[in-house]
Structure 1
Amino acid sequence: MVSLEHIPVLRPSLREMEDPIGYLSQPNVRRLGHIYGMVKLVPPEEFKPPLSIDEETFKFKARLQYLNELNISNRGRLFLMKQLNNFYMRGKRRPDILLSKPYRELKSAELVYYYDLLIAVVRFFNEDTKKEKRASLASFSGRKRPLSRRFSEETAVPAASDLVLVPLSDIMDNVALWKEVSTTLVASADELKEVFLTVLAPYYDFLQRKSGLYGDHVSLMSKLIYTEEFPKSLLHDSDSSSDDDEEEEEGCTICQKMSHRSKTILCDSCDKPFHIFCLEPPLNDVPRGKWVCNNCIFGNGYYGFKEEDKYYSRKTFQELCHDYDSQTWPLGDKLQNLDALEILFWEKVNRIDKSKPIRYGADIHNVGPGEMTGFPTADYVPPGVLQDNEDLKKYAAYVKHPMNLVNLPSAKGSLLSVFGKKISGMTVPWIYIGSTFSTFCWHLEDQYTLSANYQHEGDPKIWYSIPEGSCQKFNELMRNIAPDLFQKQPDLLHQLVTLIAPYDKRFQEAKISCYKAVQYPGEYIITFPKCYHSGFNTGYNFNEAVNFTLDLWLPYGVEATRDYVGTGKRCVFDMWELMLTVLVEYLENPKKFDEALVRRCHSELLRMFNLEMKTLDQLACVVKTQNEATGFTRRHIDDHTQLDVKVTVSRAGSYDDEYVSGISSDDESDGDDDIFCTLCKTICPFAFVAHRTSSRYSKRRRLHSISPAEWNHLAEKGDMEVLCAQDYFKLVERAEEDGAAAASSDTDPIEQFKYDELYYIRQPDEIRDILKRAQRKIDSMLR
């Protein structure tokens, strides 16, 4: 195993720890963060905040982790084995085939995984397709492009490319193909062809013919798999719900309705119900024998962690960890050689055979006093501290200390405080209670913010970091290993469920920079923007983590907003509203923020606002403009209240429409105050369009006063789409193109948009005024 360089260890003084944002903003520290992605902070010996947990009330559930399934290659292989068995089960195509292993042993004693073989075949043809697409884009660049395409290129990262499946007849006798596949898999071409012919060919042919129904270059997965409210993993270890009664009451998976029981069929793989007339293509009658749904044959790519039903206290979980360790390492020498322990961890991850589950108390976000954080707080003081005045004085100092992770997000210089609201897991810490080999998978922090992780007690935590300079290489490697999984789950790397060892040969060949850290009690790990990180625990430990920002973060936050459009990941907060808030605060107090930060906020916001207004102006002939949506409480320029503190919650039953009754004011308690685009999932920055997709909504409705949560609820029900300017323009453009293609039709393509309405989240004139006033003040400061 190659050796990884360790990240830098910084030792700030007590005085420097009083200004953590200033300390981390120093040029030398920022440079280290850029190079390594992470740094370790070791506080002075005197800094020892006591673990302040209410042992009587603090309880948590543990998630179950099967390490072999977290390996990206293993998961693709296990998924395909299940999909093949489901395929052959449906209609009794090949009752003799029931795969128990995801591989075939060849005569040469080599193993070939069915998944690796299938991907190698598909990749051979898709490499040519990528070249054709690049050539096509190059030739297209000289022509005038539609506005929606220009808008997309300027603001968003493109989504993952479609996988193109060529006809089976193009595969079997393709000499060049099998030569390349033989080289890739290091096996005989004849043996590989035989495996493909006997096991994979019928399944591949089925996929190809199904995808052909939708055109050669249309995403297979987006047409053949369907969205599920409660998806299940094909590996059956990660059901999203353990409530059997809830699942018994589940309606049709496609339409969610519980009617037509006699026309309902159950999938013999996932047990989910379907109306036979909702299927594509629909069935005339309930078929006899085994029947399997599309998601179980094609695979939806879903994977998640199952959570135990029981609750642990800190003490009972610690005892469980001790029992496991004493049985596995009876001599108690587990931590004597961390390198050997690390090798064993990755062996367990790389082994495809399932092992016993590992328990991890991750993402614990309790809210009660003595349960939210392990740091001292004013809400809870441990009984022992109350008995000693000197201890109580020290405790009070830690309550207010900026390196207390409860305070760090709002420390001087961190932008997250300007929202005036708490975001669980970002501005409010989450607790992590580890056991031996429990793991946190590769991921980036939400919206590319910085993070701080503090270990209160326990055994070491091993960390790995991929700095921003290798981000793109890492993304490409993971997508190259499992392209189908990313097509089905574009935000896979945001789901924290996927691993690859930094010691993997493919990882090394991709020339990805990776560094290592060992975190002990009393130490902080700081991750910098756009740093992929992962790791595992070497035993019981108690950590917590929170997010914060430095001035250097702002362009990364803008980049994340654009990148999320390509993967469909939702933003946690509105980046544009944050920058607008900075400008408003700057107008009131010019010394509050660094001038370079203010200028960057102004330029980014101005660029985005002008682009949005230009798009909306060109839609004026299509969409009706409504007044500002009054379901929002937004700060006006001359107010001295906090911007965006609270969303106005309308009273239930105050509308003339039944379709808003599905959500009550209680659902607003989580701070959901953003409107999300139905298609790209981005937060609509300044305005949105309500696009009616159902005849139920053909009449004008009073929608301007409903809250953001209710808008999002309407979109989720499917009778209405809430669209950002970019996606709405694309919709209109496609309708015009379709109308031009069918010129003989009497139907006006714009007719479908006649009931659509534009809503401003904040009036454009107000934003223009803020931008102009901020520009004048910036100019005056430069004189």
Structure 2
Amino acid sequence: MVELEHIPILSVSQSEMEDPIGFLSKPSVRLLGHKYGMIKLVPHEDFKPPLSIDQENFKFRVRLQYLNELNILNRGRLFMMKQLNNYYLRGKRRPDFQLAKPFLELPGGKVYFYDLFIAVVRFFNQDIKKESQSSGLSYSGRKRPRSRRLGDEEQSRDTSELIMAPLSSISDNMALWKQISSVLNASADELRSTFLQVLAPYYDFMQRKMEAHGGHASLLSNVIYSEEFPKSLLNDSEDNDSAEDDDDEEGCTMCSRTSHQSRTILCDSCDKPFHIFCLDPPLNEVPRGKWVCNNCIFGNGYYGFKEENKFYSRKEFQAKCQEFDTELWPNGDKLEDLEELERMFWGKVYQIERSSPIRYGADIHNAGPGEMTGFPTAEFVPDQIQNDPGEMEKYKEYITHPMNLVNLPSAKGSLLSIFGRKISGMTVPWMYIGSTFSTFCWHLEDQYTLSANYQHEGDPKVWYSIPESSCEKFNELMRNIAPDLFQKQPDLLHQLVTLIAPYDEKFQKANISCFKAVQYPGEYIVTFPKCYHSGFNTGYNFNEAVNFTLDLWLPYGVEATRDYIHTGKRCVFDMWELMLTVLVEYIENPKKFDEALVRKCHAELLRMFNQEIKTLDQLGSVLATQNLATGFTRRHIDLNTHVDVRVTVSQNTGYDDEYIHDVENDSDHDGDDDIFCSACKTICTFAFVVHRKNSCTTKRRRHMEAMSPGQWNRLAEKGDMQILCAKDYFNMVEKADVDQANDADDSDADPIQQFKHDEVFYIRQPDEIRCILQTAQRKIDSMLR
């Protein structure tokens, strides 16, 4: 293996431990964090917080990890085999034809069907790849269309495409087969023959299906359906240890209705029900024989971990880890050489055959005393410490120590404390109890925040870091390896289910900077903004992690909010609400925040707010009705300034009392604090637009203004309406106008009619925000005098 440079190890004094944000904000430390992405902190020798877990009540479930399926290339290959088998299983194709392996043995070696399929598709997308590289975009095999702009803000999501050429362009294309022969290191004739025998019918089916959905449609995006509870093609039913019996009748996957059972068909791959008239194209009758749904043929790209039903205590899991180690090393001679363990780990990741599952107690977030953290807390004190006055005094010091991960998010200088609410996994630590070869896959921290991970006990944890400087190269590499998976799952790298070894030949050729760390008990690993990291455990260990910020983080938080729009990932918290709160607290106490931080918050908020108001003004002719949403819990802002805001309240919601009552009593989303755009999934900070898909009216009116964010989100999920941010609503209205202008058969129609029942709801009064911005600006200016 290529030797990786280790990250810096910094010894931290007692005084530096008392001000962790200040220490990490030092220019010398920040430079190391920027270069390596991670640093390791070794506390002074007197810092030894006891592991404070309630041994009797602390229980946790474990996820099952199949290492071979976490390899991004393996997963693409295994998915392709399943998809091909499902295709040949369906209808009157060749149900007797079933692939037992994802590859074909040729004289020159193995050729994977997935590799051959992607090579063919990529051949016809080379111009797109060149264009994406010349414009500095990450290549996903797709082309970014021209963005329409409102002011300086891009108005479209990344809707770039992979093109599938007709089958007639493939068979006798000698340039294609010559290039693929070079790429796959096999005979062109053998590759062409393999493609025509196995892949050609499937490829042709896919290409025609896509063509029927708009010609140059992006690969699969218009032919697979969205699923609230997707199932992976690699999750066999017998592996579902966490499955629970559900007596409720399952509705049609497409429309959710449970009626028309005689017109319902079950997919022979995922077992989900479908009305035959909901299919595309619809069927006239239930077909005989085997039938497989589109998602199981085209593949939805979904992959997730399963959990065991069993709950483990800490000691029970330690025993399970020992049992597993004995299986790996029957003679009891477990490898102590970390490099040898590392080779074994990546060997298991890169083998395509599935081996026994690895157990990992990840993302443990219990709530009871002695169960929510391994650090000392006032709510739980172990018996042996309660009975020792000297130890009890030390224990109390650890309860309030800034490097106790319960306290770090709210330590002096971290912005996450100003929310006034706890965010599980970010401001509230999660625990991780590992076993040999259990792994955490490549990912960035939510909102690009910093993270701190502390090891309480156990065997070493091996880490890998890709600093910000190589982020785009890494994104490009992963999308180039499996472009179709990113088409189906744009937020794949946010799902923590994907691995590639830093020693991989493709990784090395991509010139990606990558560093390594080995963490031992009593040590902290700190990741800096926009650092991809992954790793594995070399045996049983107990770790804990939490997020926090430095002043340097703010631009990254803004960037994350924008990046998430392109992948459809939801933000964990509202970045704009956080910056607004910074301004309010600055107005109350100018010395609380650094001036540069306040200026950045003010500039970003002013830009965004002006853009929002400009967009809503442009929609004035469409959105004549405005409302104030009062059901949102937001920090009370009192600037001793009277603002007279007149709000027009709509007299027609388009929904009846019974329907809204169902939503109001739906507790599934009661914990939501934010409302999300149905299109881009971003948080609607200042305002949102309700677009009704039909113009239904009601005899009675129930006010919707007082609904909570969770109730609004649930109402949108029911499907009769959309909640849209101002930008996405503007794009929808403009598209309707363009489509009408291009429709010669309906040139007299008024496109605005379909929006006449739509309304805008303000979460915060515009004049209130203007007042905050103006007051903060005056305060900033006065500080310069």
Q: TM-score surpassing 0.5?
A: yes
**Higher mean C-alpha deviation, range 86-95 or range 730-739:** 86-95
**Structure 1 residue 389, shift from structure 2 partner:** 0.6
Amino acid at match of 2:266: L
CA contact (8 A) 2:147 2:154 kept: no
Q: Distance in 1 between matches of 2:590 and 2:264?
A: 65
**Structure 1 residue 744, shift from structure 2 partner:** 4.3
Amino acid at match of 1:422: K
CA contact (8 A) 1:437 1:536 kept: yes
Q: Distance in 2 between matches of 1:240 and 1:685?
A: 39
**Structure 1 residue 542, shift from structure 2 partner:** 0.3
Amino acid at match of 1:717: K
Give the corresponding residue for 2:189: 190
Give the corresponding residue for 1:28: 28
CA contact (8 A) 2:583 2:772 kept: yes
Give the corresponding residue for 1:271: 271
Compute the RMSD of aligned alpha carbons.
2.2
Give the corresponding residue for 1:252: 252
Matched, 1:766 2:768: yes
**Higher mean C-alpha deviation, range 128-137 or range 546-555:** 128-137
Amino acid at match of 2:784: L
Matched, 1:737 2:738: yes
Give the corresponding residue for 1:142: none
The structure-2 alpha-carbon separation of the partners of 1:241 and 1:718, relative to structure 1 and needing over 3 Å to count, comes to farther
Give the corresponding residue for 1:757: 759
**Structure 1 residue 128, shift from structure 2 partner:** 2.3
The structure-2 alpha-carbon separation of the partners of 1:401 and 1:573, relative to structure 1 and needing over 3 Å to count, comes to same
SS for the counterpart of 1:453 is strand
Q: Distance in 2 between matches of 1:319 and 1:33?
A: 38
Matched, 1:93 2:88: no
Give the corresponding residue for 1:229: 228
SS for the counterpart of 1:367 is coil
**Higher mean C-alpha deviation, range 398-407 or range 317-326:** 317-326
Matched, 1:782 2:781: no
Aligned ranges 1:230-629 → 2 under 5 Å: 230-237=229-236, 242-246=242-246, 249-629=249-629
SS for the counterpart of 2:374 is coil
Q: Which of structure 1's runs of 4+ aligned residues deviate more than 6 A?
A: 132-138, 238-241
Give the corresponding residue for 1:128: 127
Q: Distance in 2 between matches of 1:517 and 1:735?
A: 54
The structure-2 alpha-carbon separation of the partners of 1:296 and 1:327, relative to structure 1 and needing over 3 Å to count, comes to closer
**Structure 1 residue 451, shift from structure 2 partner:** 0.2
Give the corresponding residue for 1:53: 53
Unaligned runs of 5+ in 1: 139-145, 641-654
Amino acid at match of 2:688: F
SS for the counterpart of 2:409 is helix
Size of the alignment, in residue pairs? 761
CA contact (8 A) 1:491 1:568 kept: yes
**Structure 1 residue 616, shift from structure 2 partner:** 0.8
**Structure 1 residue 661, shift from structure 2 partner:** 3.1
**Higher mean C-alpha deviation, range 94-103 or range 718-727:** 94-103
**Higher mean C-alpha deviation, range 243-252 or range 397-406:** 243-252
SS for the counterpart of 2:43 is coil
Q: Distance in 2 between matches of 1:666 and 1:592?
A: 41
CA contact (8 A) 2:418 2:578 kept: yes
The structure-2 alpha-carbon separation of the partners of 1:277 and 1:536, relative to structure 1 and needing over 3 Å to count, comes to same
Q: Can you list the C-alpha shifts for 1:75-111, whole angstroms capped at 9, x where unaligned?
A: 0000000000000000131234210100001123x11
The structure-2 alpha-carbon separation of the partners of 1:148 and 1:508, relative to structure 1 and needing over 3 Å to count, comes to closer
Amino acid at match of 2:120: V
Q: Can you list the C-alpha shifts for 1:537-565, whole angstroms capped at 9, x where unaligned?
A: 00000001000000000000000000000
The structure-2 alpha-carbon separation of the partners of 1:698 and 1:325, relative to structure 1 and needing over 3 Å to count, comes to same
CA contact (8 A) 1:462 1:518 kept: yes
Aligned ranges 1:628-647 → 2 under 5 Å: 628-638=628-638
Q: Distance in 1 between matches of 2:658 and 2:91?
A: 43
Q: Can you list the C-alpha shifts for 1:601-646, whole angstroms capped at 9, x where unaligned?
A: 0001111111111111100101134232011233343279xxxxxx
Q: Distance in 1 between matches of 2:156 and 2:20?
A: 33
Matched, 1:748 2:747: no
Matched, 1:150 2:149: yes
Q: Distance in 2 between matches of 1:148 and 1:353?
A: 44
Q: Distance in 2 between matches of 1:776 and 1:240?
A: 61
Q: Can you list the C-alpha shifts for 1:7-48, whole angstroms capped at 9, x where unaligned?
A: 000001011000000000000000000000000000011100
**Structure 1 residue 323, shift from structure 2 partner:** 1.7
**Structure 1 residue 137, shift from structure 2 partner:** 13
Identity %: 73
Q: Distance in 2 between matches of 1:448 and 1:247?
A: 42
Q: Distance in 1 between matches of 2:423 and 2:713?
A: 19
**Structure 1 residue 246, shift from structure 2 partner:** 2.6
Give the corresponding residue for 1:19: 19
CA contact (8 A) 1:160 1:490 kept: no
TM-score, scaled to structure 2:
0.94
Q: Distance in 2 between matches of 1:494 and 1:306?
A: 18
Unaligned runs of 5+ in 2: 138-144, 641-654
Q: Distance in 2 between matches of 1:355 and 1:400?
A: 45
Give the corresponding residue for 1:651: none
SS for the counterpart of 1:111 is strand
Give the corresponding residue for 2:84: 84
**Structure 1 residue 335, shift from structure 2 partner:** 4.6
Q: Can you list the C-alpha shifts for 1:208-228, whole angstroms capped at 9, x where unaligned?
A: 000111223222422211111
Give the corresponding residue for 1:715: 716
Q: Distance in 2 between matches of 1:153 and 1:211?
A: 34
**Higher mean C-alpha deviation, range 88-97 or range 167-176:** 88-97
The structure-2 alpha-carbon separation of the partners of 1:74 and 1:736, relative to structure 1 and needing over 3 Å to count, comes to same
SS for the counterpart of 1:233 is coil
SS for the counterpart of 2:596 is helix
**Structure 1 residue 236, shift from structure 2 partner:** 1.5
Q: Distance in 2 between matches of 1:695 and 1:157?
A: 27
CA contact (8 A) 1:148 1:726 kept: no
Q: Can you list the C-alpha shifts for 1:124-162, whole angstroms capped at 9, x where unaligned?
A: 111224557899999xxxxxxx99711497357842622
Q: Can you list the C-alpha shifts for 1:159-200, whole angstroms capped at 9, x where unaligned?
A: 262221110000111111111111111111111001100000
CA contact (8 A) 1:85 1:99 kept: yes
**Structure 1 residue 284, shift from structure 2 partner:** 0.4
Q: Can you list the C-alpha shifts for 1:227-277, whole angstroms capped at 9, x where unaligned?
A: 112111001259899444338621101101100000000001111100000
The structure-2 alpha-carbon separation of the partners of 1:747 and 1:686, relative to structure 1 and needing over 3 Å to count, comes to same
Q: Distance in 2 between matches of 1:586 and 1:602?
A: 11
Q: Distance in 2 between matches of 1:5 and 1:258?
A: 58
The structure-2 alpha-carbon separation of the partners of 1:51 and 1:274, relative to structure 1 and needing over 3 Å to count, comes to same
Q: Distance in 2 between matches of 1:8 and 1:697?
A: 65
CA contact (8 A) 1:584 1:637 kept: yes
CA contact (8 A) 1:233 1:302 kept: yes
Amino acid at match of 1:177: L
Q: Distance in 1 between matches of 2:73 and 2:155?
A: 29
Q: Distance in 1 between matches of 2:553 and 2:249?
A: 46
The structure-2 alpha-carbon separation of the partners of 1:148 and 1:98, relative to structure 1 and needing over 3 Å to count, comes to closer
**Structure 1 residue 324, shift from structure 2 partner:** 1.6
Amino acid at match of 2:435: S
CA contact (8 A) 1:164 1:216 kept: no
CA contact (8 A) 1:465 1:515 kept: yes
Q: Distance in 2 between matches of 1:509 and 1:135?
A: 19
Q: Distance in 1 between matches of 2:209 and 2:436?
A: 45
Amino acid at match of 2:493: L
Q: Distance in 1 between matches of 2:719 and 2:207?
A: 29
Give the corresponding residue for 2:652: none
SS for the counterpart of 2:730 is helix
Aligned ranges 1:143-222 → 2 under 5 Å: 149-151=148-150, 154-155=153-154, 158-159=157-158, 161-222=160-221
**Structure 1 residue 695, shift from structure 2 partner:** 4.0
